[in-house]
Amino acid sequence: MLNGLRVLAQLVRGRRKLYQYYTNVTWRTCERCLDWHGRIRARPERFPDVGDGCPRHLLSFPVRQLGDYRAKSREMAEVVRRERQRRIWVREAEEILESDSERALQLLQEAGCVDVYIPEVERLAARHRALLRSDRELCARLREVLLESWHEKFALPRYERLPERMREEHEQGGARYLEELLGR
């Protein structure tokens, strides 16, 4: 009912179409684009045109579907919330890898349930290169945690859209690289 009223309110203002903002939520999406992800506006010019390198797509939809798009918007906000939490976990793990490696591995595991990105693993490996060379056991456990997250990443629905062979190549190529990076 509430959605019905919302639709009506748009229609009486002469609006037939509305717009939803999409970015691609990854490790490098900026804070501002994360804020806008999923938001709905009546006119395209009501969205910022940031041109900062983050993907930006405005999807138009008929006013009568506002209820569905508001539901989508809530799901998108949840994706953003999880990505922000993931970044906090990864940063903290990077900070404490040497002083509290158990906790760091746990945080990376949690972060990996959301997603894992190779450039962030590169950053972690570069920062802790000496530690990972001297502590082979820690290095092996780190590799195990990250590889597990990496393989899980390809079981996520969004990767199912990739053709099977491409998906496999991407997955295996990334796994080989992670093994190299973390010194197998």
Residue 55 in contact with Zn ion, rule: CB under 5 A: no
Cβ pair 112, 146 in contact under 8 A: yes
Residue 95 in contact with Zn ion, rule: CB under 5 A: no
Residue 54 in contact with Zn ion, rule: CB under 5 A: yes
Residue 33 in contact with Zn ion, rule: CB under 5 A: yes
Toward Zn ion, which CB reaches closer, 8 or 30? 30
Residue 80 in contact with Zn ion, rule: CB under 5 A: no
Least Å from the CB of residue 37 to Zn ion: 10
Least Å from the CB of residue 43 to Zn ion: 20
How far, in Å, CA of 136 to CA of 142, rounded?
10
Residue 25 in contact with Zn ion, rule: CB under 5 A: no
Residue 48 in contact with Zn ion, rule: CB under 5 A: no
The candidate with the shortest Cα–Cα distance to 3, out of 60, 74, 58, 71, is: 71
Q: Which residues, other chains included, contact 120 with Cβ-Cβ below 8 Å and sequence gap of 6+?
A: 27, 90
Toward Zn ion, which CB reaches closer, 57 or 165? 57
Instruction: Report residue 72 as tokens.
Output: 């989508």
Toward Zn ion, which CB reaches closer, 33 or 145? 33
Instruction: Report residue 52 as tokens.
Output: 């900062």
Cβ pair 21, 56 in contact under 8 A: yes
In the complex, which residues of this chain contact Zn ion (CB under 5 A)?
30, 33, 52, 54
